[in-house]
Amino acid sequence: MNSLSGRFLILTTVFVMLAEILIFVPSIARFREDFLLNRLERAQIASLALLADDMLADDLEAELLANAGVYNVVLRRDEVRQLMLSSPIPDSIAKTYDLRDAGPWVLIRDAMSRIVTPENEIIRVIGEPVKGAGLLIEVTTDSAPLRMAMVDYGLRILGLSFVISIITASLLFLAVRVVLVRPIKSVVGYMQRYASAPEDARGIISPNSKVTELREAEEALQMLQTDLTQALRQRERLAQLGGAVAKVSHDLRNILTSAQLFTDRIESSDDPLVRRMAPKLVNSITRAVSLCESTLAFGRAEEPAPTLTMVPVRSLAADVAASEQLAVADACVEIVNEVPEDLIVRADPEQLFRVIMNLVRNARQALVAAGKPGRVTIAGCEYGDTWCIEISDTGPGLPPKARENLFTPFQGGVRKGGSGLGLAISQELVRGHGGDLSLKQTGPEGTVFEISLPRGDMTF
């Protein structure tokens, strides 16, 4: 019963039974009223014999009362209350019911009270005579026959309700399977066939459902499958193109490396023009080799999942600052570590070191290229459920073109001749931690990059 149609069958049966119970309660109250009115009518008919003949034998009077199912009959005619028929009452009267002005809630209350009371009681019932044959008729009778008749009627009603609910639920079960379950299974089949061969366009669903909601789902699935198939084809082409570029870069690097071997001989040429152009040629070849090596490295890059430990950021930043400070010994660039002593983050220490190192190096190179004194600052803070590490500089800021594709490989390079792979790889490493690397601000007053890492669950 874990299927949609099976659960719908159970729910339908339950709801139909609830509806039948709501019908059962007023029905049983109506049955009780009809039963008592019938007793009153039979008692009135029995009393007519006495009106026809004032003297009745005791045996005949007892037979009339037995046929009417009552102990005595009181008929009020012309404002005079008359005891028409009577017999000994075995017990005192327990309850009196007046049917002349009883509302529906009173009838339901009395019916439910009677059906849950198994003991036999003597009850008095008051009603209006039929055919206007008086002002009031009153009888005394046992409650046991009434309750037995109500129980029998209730069981028949519940049995009929159960049969109706089963038939209704079965019909709805079949309708659901035809209208909903079968189309859903068809959609699932399309999804499974597409998952087994996403490059095959024949697996894309063709919307044909007449149910509005299902058709919308089919159309959304068709759009998703179409876009995904195109993306897979594009990815395959890019993979093939990447393989070709890697091969070309490998061969080109070898060619350029060979060309570098001849630069020394070119620089020793007697021709002044050749000696003057040689450094530019060497620099161009060096940049080309560097680009080839970066391209090959990026194509082979398969970063492992981070091994998360608790990392003291200040000591990590001190290592970065010490390494980079050696490269700027002769330049007026200061690297400052302002990370708090107590800032400890959950991260992979090697990967976090690479990210901070890359950002500090980029900032340092930007300051050196600007040719003016400056400072690179590593800072950190903690707020809410996030750790933040900021690398800021007092450099000239990023040019607009670099901001547009800052984290895009081969497009986001800031330095002349740069490949832009450093920031792309750094962002990939930070996102592997569930965080993000973003450019917080840039301009003439400087540039700020922010590494945000989620605190998450601190339990190890």
CA end-to-end span of the chain, whole Å? 41
Checking if the pLDDT of 421 tops 80, the result is: no
Distance CA 269, CA 265 (A): 7
pTM recorded for the entire structure:
0.45
Mean pLDDT across the chain: 78
pLDDT at 419 over 60: no
Q: Is 322 exposed, middle or buried (0-12, 13-18, 19+ CB in 10 A)?
A: exposed
Say which residue, 203 or 298, is predicted with more confidence.
203
| CATH classification number, 213-300, choose in 1.10.357, 1.10.150, 1.10.287, 1.10.3470 | 1.10.287
Closest CA to 150 of 194, 107, 87: 107
Model confidence over 143-192: pLDDT tens digits?
889 999 999 988 888 888 778 877 877 887 788 777 777 778 888 887 88
Rounded to a whole number of angstroms, the CA Rg of the chain reads 48
Please determine whether the domains at 213-300 and 309-454 fall in the same fold group of CATH.
no
Instruction: Give the rounded percent of residues in the chain with a pLDDT score beyond 90.
Output: 13
Tens of pLDDT, residue by residue over 179-235, are 777 778 888 887 888 788 777 767 788 887 777 777 888 888 888 888 887 777 777
Predicted confidence at residue 344, as pLDDT, reads 92
**How do the domains of the chain map onto residue ranges?**
4-166, 213-300, 309-454
Provide the pLDDT confidence category of residue 395 given band limits of 50, 70 and 90. confident
Question: What mean pLDDT is predicted for residues 300-305?
Answer: 62
In CATH terms, is domain 309-454 a member of 3.30.565.10?
Answer: yes
- Convert the pLDDT of each residue in 73-120 to its tens digit: 887 766 655 656 677 888 888 888 988 888 888 888 888 888 888 889
Q: How far apart are CA 143 and CA 83, in angstroms?
A: 21
Beta partners for residue 346, in sequence order: 310
For strand 436-443 and strand 446-454, is the pairing parallel, antiparallel, or unpaired?
Answer: antiparallel
